Amino acid sequence: MTNNASNEPVQSLSGAEWEVMKVIWERGPSAARDVYAALPEEVNWASKTVKTLLSRLVAKGALDYEQIGNSYLYRAVVERSQMTRHEVRGVLGRVMGAAVSPVLANFIEEAELSDKEIGQLKKLLDSKRRELRAAPKKGK
C-alpha cells in the first residue's frame, strides 16, 4: 500500500525510526520479526515497539507493506540517499537558513576524512562549479 507516490518522505524520522529503516535498507523487504532480530543489541526494544515503529514509518510514507499469510513484509519506499537528503535539507533550513557554506565548512573541519573522501568531495565541488557556470545567466 504505497501512500507516497513521489517517493519523497513527508516527515522527518526519529532516531528510533532511522534504526528500523537502516535494517530495511540493508536487508531488503523484511517481516517485523526479522527487523527485530537484526537490530543492534544495544537497542533492546520489545517486539511490540518495533511493530509500532514499522506502522509509523508506513504512515509517514517511508515504508510500504504486503500481507503474506499472517505476517506483513515491509519494504522501503524511499531510498536511503533520498531520506538523507531530506534530513540534511531540514537541518540546514533549521540551523542556517539558506547559508550552506558555513555548515559544510564545519562538517569538513570536524570530520576525519580520508584522502579518498577528500578527492570525492573535490569532484563534487568541481561538478557543482561546472553546473553553475553552464547554467543560463538570469536577466540575459
pLDDT in tens, 44-85: 999 999 999 999 999 999 999 999 999 999 999 999 988 888
**Poorest-confidence range of 29-33, 40-44, 93-97, 100-104?**
93-97
- Please tell me the pTM assigned to this model: 0.69
Q: At what angle are helices 80-96 and 15-27 packed, to 10 degrees? A: 150
Alpha-carbon span 90 to 50, nearest angstrom: 25
Q: Which of 5-14, 19-28, 114-123, 131-140 has the lowest mean pLDDT?
A: 5-14
Judge whether residue 20 has pLDDT over 70.
yes
